[in-house]
Amino acid sequence: MTRGAALALPAMLADLEDLVLCESFSADHAAVARSAEVVGALGARLLGAGPEVFVIDGVTHLRWSFGTPRVLLVGHHDTVWSMGSLRNHPWSVVDGIARGPGVLDMKAGLVQMFHALSSLPSPDGVCVLVNGDEEVGSPTSRQLIEESARGCAAALVMEASADEEGALKIARKGTSRYEVVVHGRAAHAGLEPQKGVNAVIEVAHQVLAVADLAGSMGTTGATCPVLGAPTITPTLLAAGTTLNTVPALAKVLVDVRVPTLAAQDRIDKCMRGLVARLPGARLEVLGGRRRPPMEPEASAELFALASRIAAELGQEPLRGLGVGGASDGNYTAGAGCPTLDGLGAVGGGAHADTEYVEIAQMVPRTRLLARLIDHATS
């Protein structure tokens, strides 16, 4: 495409079809590598340069840098859809709706990002990072994301909009993950249960203790007007070996979502302060903080700028929402880079059978992004 060319929906849809037809399930590193080749070729064609390729623990990530970066564009090319999903969820464009595995989360966002950059006179001052493991928490790309964000004046995240009306994501809860392991003592459940220490009973105490933590978080620094209160949710539970054995081991996984760093720190201290209730039982608390929260302050100036640009373009007034899910925007904000998320496609049903993109919004959304990049790099 010629630099500075007008945006064309047919070309964008053709590129989106290419990306969707190359399945890229996060757990299949070979598939992710094939997807990286397709994404890299698209970027090379539209940006006039090939990417740096990083293969970290088998996962393929891509990065383009032009001049001294002031703006970081962040996306991912992996999806939650297992290989072969195209058979039951084929690529289609019907009645203004595009469907297919990962079409919303977030292959349409990648197409919009590359076309936005191609529509500008120059990509100078921009860094583009497309990782291959966002859907599993970006374990191999986190350092690359944070390194790329440091020193930039803005990070623009190409995740899908916050709702089907196109709201941007101005805040995200941070995440922590814990595994509470209970060590008891086995005994015959019929002959001498009194000689055992029942890990199931102990883990039941711990599940209730963990559930009670959320109610103690309503103090200053633990909640946020945009994101609300923390959530602390026991999820997966496992215990025991046989019906007639006092269980010696039990474990429960705990999902934590936090609106502020203060809440994340407090909950971590509380989780590590859990104590066993039964004599002879012993606890281990594994895991901890994962993604830091993207607090509203990180996006305030960028959202105000995007709102002004939308008005200049004659688009509907932008809305901003806080969301409980995390993204790589948590990492860029945690690295101290102002961050605005949800700039990708407009649609709904991410990760579900109903996943779709509203194609009438692709060009307007791309124009908004292009103007935002232009302002942020000048």
One digit per residue, the tens of pLDDT, for the chain of length 378 reads 456 667 999 999 999 999 999 999 999 999 999 999 999 999 999 999 999 999 999 999 999 999 999 999 999 999 999 999 999 999 999 999 999 999 999 999 999 999 999 999 999 999 999 999 999 999 999 999 999 999 999 999 999 999 999 999 999 999 999 999 999 999 999 999 999 999 999 999 999 999 999 777 755 557 788 899 999 999 999 999 999 999 999 999 999 999 999 999 999 999 999 999 999 999 999 999 999 999 999 999 999 999 999 999 999 999 999 999 999 999 999 999 999 999 999 999 999 999 999 999 999 999 999 999 999 998
Q: Does residue 134 have an active-site annotation?
A: yes
Q: Does residue 18 have an active-site annotation?
A: no
Largest CA distance in the chain: 82
3-class DSSP assignment, residue 351 = coil
Same-domain pairing of 128 and 191? no
Does the CA dihedral 217-218-224-230 come out positive or negative?
Answer: positive
What backbone phi and psi angles, to 5 degrees, belong to 298?
Answer: -65, -25
Q: Are 92 and 36 in contact (CB under 8 A)?
A: no
Compute the distance between CA of residue 81 and CA of residue 352 in angstroms, rounded to an integer.
Answer: 9
Candidates 17, 105, 134, 202; catalytic one: 134
Strand partners for 321: 169
Who contacts 49 (Cβ-Cβ below 8 Å, separation ≥6)? 64, 66
Same-domain pairing of 53 and 16? yes
Strand partners for 156: 73, 340
- 235, two tokens: 């999820």
DSSP symbol at 370: H
Compute the distance between CA of residue 105 and CA of residue 357 in angstroms, rounded to an integer.
Answer: 9
Q: What is the CA radius of gyration of the chain?
A: 23
Q: By residue range, what is the domain housing residue 222?
A: 174-289
Candidates 78, 159, 295, 328; catalytic one: 78
Residue finishing a domain among 247, 267, 289? 289
pTM assigned to the model? 0.92
The CATH number of residue 129's host domain is: 3.40.630.10
Residue finishing a domain among 289, 308, 339? 289
